[in-house]
Amino acid sequence: MSGSVNSDAAFCAALVREADFDRYAASLFVAPAQRRPLLALAAFNAEIVRVRGQVSQPLPGEMRLQWWSDLLAGTAHGGAEGNPVAAELMQAVAAYALPVEPLLRLTEAHIFDLYNDPMPDWSVLEPHLADTEATLLALGARVLGQGADQHADAIDHVARHAGVAIGIARIVALLSYDSARRQLYLPNDVLLRHGCELEQVFSGQAVPALRAALAEVIGEARKHLDQALAELGNLPAAVRPAFLALAVARHDLDRLDASERDPFTPFDRSRLSTLWTLWRASRSFR
């Protein structure tokens, strides 16, 4: 039994290391005992995110996401047996008394990925990032700060700001990838306000209107990042490492905002640079 458990944990670690190195690297700066549930959450997220790339039509994708929803709700046929990510996730949920409602919302939010509808505006994008990026941050903080339930509201507030900042950095960084499959996560109303049409984005035209829209979006992300960092010091020291990704987002936003950068050039950051940024941040996020 212990061999199977260790194998499940190793599977999740390898999956996250390959699919989401940022979260894998951030987990290296917490105690080994806490690393495992963080990797379980990240592996679950990786499984959810990659559904879009595994299907050619929305319906099979919705069916895969529904299986995860059923698992979390306790209605899946067969449970987590035979699925190392599901087994690790449910163990983390049980061991750390993690609420399943945010995980259900995260799963449901990624139904958006299966369709090519553009993200309409901030009023839709911010809740989407709250249900995805912010959920992982808040649950990670719960893992690190057991016994800090009295700070739950403050943690959720920081996580929401951090989730928007980190999420926007990811969206801008992945613009070339998403636009190639005619998917838009940038708020469409911002594009239209600056005179940028969807087809200009999908065809990879780095027109001035797009650059102006990206500057506005990045500026909004910086406001959320600054607010998250300002409030981070009010949280218990034990939970602050859950927000190490803010340091990476700050680094990325600076690069993404460079005036000479082509927004359709694939964004690249070396693993060494990621580790260095996280290491420096880990010395102050205490």
Mean pLDDT over 261-272 rounds to 95
pLDDT of 150 over the 90 cut: no
Mean pLDDT over 126-132 rounds to 98
Mean pLDDT over 55-67 rounds to 95
pLDDT of 71 over the 80 cut: yes
**CB count in 10 Å sphere of residue 272:** 8
The string of pLDDT tens digits covering residues 82-118 is 899 999 999 999 999 999 999 999 999 999 999 989 9
The string of pLDDT tens digits covering residues 164-176 is 999 999 999 999 9
What values do phi and psi take at 157, rounded to 5? -65, -45
CA atoms of 253 and 59, how far apart (whole Å): 35
pTM: 0.94
Nearest to 243 by CA among 149, 122, 160, 126: 160
pLDDT of 3 over the 60 cut: no
The CATH 1.10.600.10 portion of the chain extends over 116-286
**CB count in 10 Å sphere of residue 254:** 12
Mean pLDDT over 28-42 rounds to 96
The string of pLDDT tens digits covering residues 201-235 is 999 999 999 999 999 999 999 999 999 999 999 99
Q: Which CATH class is domain 116-286?
A: mainly alpha
What is the length of the chain? 286
DSSP 90-139: HHHHHHTT--SHHHHHHHHHGGGGGS-PPP--HHHHHHHHHHTHHHHHHH
